[in-house]
Structure 1
């Protein structure tokens, strides 16, 4: 699993490193929130808006990119995505206005969809018995890119004047993505799948098995589009709005039209299934449950990584570098917790362990809602690490199950589940901007209670 002697191992390590680079690029703004407030004179409201923009297009991108990976193969898609990431890094480094930063963070949200490409690659190369650990290593080590960005980019920037240091650090992340794209194109190998002749690229539409599943897919997609509409109105209602009210109405109407077109396309793609002749037999309700679980486990991770350095600076008065180092400890756990979550879920039962991880996350986030500046910093850091162990372990347990639902559709199913992770992050960050830390962590804990109930109906193993 850890060597390079076989095609599977090579695919695993190239994929997690490519994913790692996309996360470095995706989170290359997080350690510089306060720097941007000083250098570019952004307000707190503008920083909150940029954090939301960083997640917006990841919602549709994960489903769309998952379909691309199913149809064109992970090698082409991941290589192209890394080139795109490098170009957006360079654009962000040159940004001088709020509008230019908004554009770069919106485009960078597409890069966040790269997660599902590696899920497809690993699913094609590894057998079911090794799936949990392999997916855990891929996602856990790749997710460490967020911690690497928070930890290393301020250290690079610290060697230059405040006005230019953050730009140099962002350019470095773009160069790394460009090198990673060339390496993935040269050494990664796609696996020929005999079912590919039955696949067609159908955008955001997912093949299902029954009328009930069609209704459930419609509901899940409705929440995705609702999340996008929420972001539109957040951009309109911010202290420094970048969208006029009339434009917001036009965009909302456009998204509703796209939703209707999406459902119509889903109907056409699944016409045979709705008439009792499904091509792929599987339970879509399992996808729905895992989507809710991932909205909690990964959505909370994205949100906490985005606000954690700023939160530590505000409560304990840490410097940018100090908060970055301390804050990166939360994401650093992914190196171990996500592979552990996938491994133990495959060994002791996916449903059982996901339940345990969600329960622990519910209790830990409730405890974090009680934190104040009277608490000792080491205790707060230890509590955050405990929270990370449960929620990030839940990520591993979740994606130990997703590739086993229907391997031929892994890209799209992983894309939908992954999109809900970002939807959760958008909602949680919206709560943060309105209520602050206490309401933020209480919301996480309350949603965890809902997910805990849903996991009861999850199938333990694929039938």
Structure 2
């Protein structure tokens, strides 16, 4: 339904459910949470999957890489689709179609089937882009960074909450008489069904903009798109600022994915922690998304108010550089206490950098927010892919060398040598990645805005950046 009286929100009132922007914020955040919950839902069950399907170490690593690779293409595509059809329909279809490989993952019988499902499950990671587009359409420039960061952070919690949630689902399934070895299958099926149902909720209870859906506005003549207003995807691709942000997000979200994906084993190998203890430490850092991303968006908005669009870039550069420094120091930590402190600071800074990135994105091209968000979002997964490949190659070579040098000394000695080799190789990988992040933080300073863009943002302060210009008949 078209409601011309609704305007973009200039504040994030979390409990004002009469406000369409608030309702959309909650529904898109919950949808994002469920998508990430399902995307990484198999992680807590990997020991069971390896045993059940007979996965080799290479197949296990490949499943991780495939899960983030599929998202790259999905994010690039979904941004453009959001510009054309609106976020409501895009999210509805993503949730409903994305549920299929999640369900099928619980039905696989061979390693190949499992790897294919992991690839297609990665497509629901594109939910992040739609979430950012939808909140960008619903909130004004003075608060859009905070809204984007908060919805992204709370949605991102799904990637950590599954460490608790999926085992609980499995325990409930077992209580109904299912064998322990089959519980992971039922858990994935349930996660897929929930995603499908959320797609129906999204369709029924959200609108593309506070004034209504794209289709309704166009049919009623309330949304007029002229040739001048249409922004081609190639034009977005030619904007160097988009590609800097692509690399920035690769260095923030991409590295967060990879570090958290490898941290359990690293903590066990380096500090001789039990698996449960290491897992709980990693989970606690993932849960920092409750507030850390929001802080990044909040300070992005504050610096934007003080120094305009340039202020947003300055804060992004600072927090990203700090993130790299924290990872460099962590890579050399030999004390558990110091390591945990540095890991806390890394978690805080990396999540703030992610929030700060999307406090800049809505202002790059206000007529193509979807396309820009899609490209930048894809950068996160490219970063995760490259970092995972780096750590995999370093760890694999080191472990093989350790096995060869310890041959004939007994299983315990070989296992200890493997652990030490893996720890050293991953630490060196973290060190190298840390220096790349610092360089990226400095490179972010190259993002510039024209005087016209600065003036326009100042002029429309209190109004939301538009996806495309909407001319309303009075």
TM-score band w.r.t. shorter chain = 0.7 to 0.9
RMSD: 2.3
**Cross-structure match for 1:293:** 248
**Cross-structure match for 1:370:** 332
CA distance in 1, matches of 2:187, 2:202: 23
**Cross-structure match for 1:339:** 294
Task: Give how far 1:156 is off.
Answer: 3.0
1:189 corresponds to 2:207? yes
1:15 corresponds to 2:42? no
1:434 corresponds to 2:396? no
- Report the structure number with the largest CA radius of gyration: 2
TM-score, normalised with respect to structure 1? 0.78
Q: 1:358 aligns with which of 307, 320, 340?
A: 320
Matches within 5 A, 1:169-184: 169-184=187-202
Q: CA contact under 8 A between 2:325 and 2:435: conserved in structure 1?
A: no
CA distance in 1, matches of 2:88, 2:448: 32
Q: CA contact under 8 A between 2:321 and 2:442: conserved in structure 1?
A: no
Matches within 5 A, 1:84-123: 84-123=97-136
CA distance in 2, matches of 1:114, 1:201: 24
**Cross-structure match for 1:125:** 138
Task: Give how far 1:195 is off.
Answer: 5.6
CA distance in 2, matches of 1:40, 1:319: 25
Task: Give how far 1:379 is off.
Answer: 4.0
Task: Give how far 1:34 is off.
Answer: 2.7
**Cross-structure match for 1:152:** 165
Q: What 5-or-longer segments of structure 2 have no aligned partner?
A: 1-11, 215-222, 304-310, 396-425, 455-474
**Cross-structure match for 2:261:** 306
CA distance in 2, matches of 1:434, 1:14: 40
Q: CA contact under 8 A between 2:322 and 2:438: conserved in structure 1?
A: no
**Cross-structure match for 1:421:** 380
CA distance in 1, matches of 2:356, 2:376: 13
Task: Give how far 1:207 is off.
Answer: 4.2
Task: Give how far 1:319 is off.
Answer: 5.5
Q: 2:355 aligns with which of 379, 382, 396?
A: 396
Distance 1:430 1:299, change over 3 A: same
CA distance in 2, matches of 1:86, 1:426: 23
Q: 1:74 aligns with which of 83, 87, 102?
A: 87
CA distance in 2, matches of 1:85, 1:189: 21
Distance 1:156 1:315, change over 3 A: farther
1:445 corresponds to 2:434? yes
SS in structure 1 opposite 2:446? coil
Q: What 5-or-longer segments of structure 1 have no aligned partner?
A: 218-283
Deviations 1:255-288 (A, max 9, x none): xxxxxxxxxxxxxxxxxxxxxxxxxxxxx22212
Q: Tell me how many residue pairs correspond in the alignment.
A: 386
Deviations 1:9-56 (A, max 9, x none): 111111111111111111112222333223322222211000000011
1:457 corresponds to 2:457? no
1:166 corresponds to 2:188? no
Matches within 5 A, 1:315-330: 315-316=270-271, 321-330=276-285
CA distance in 2, matches of 1:167, 1:19: 22
Deviates most, 453-462 or 92-101: 453-462
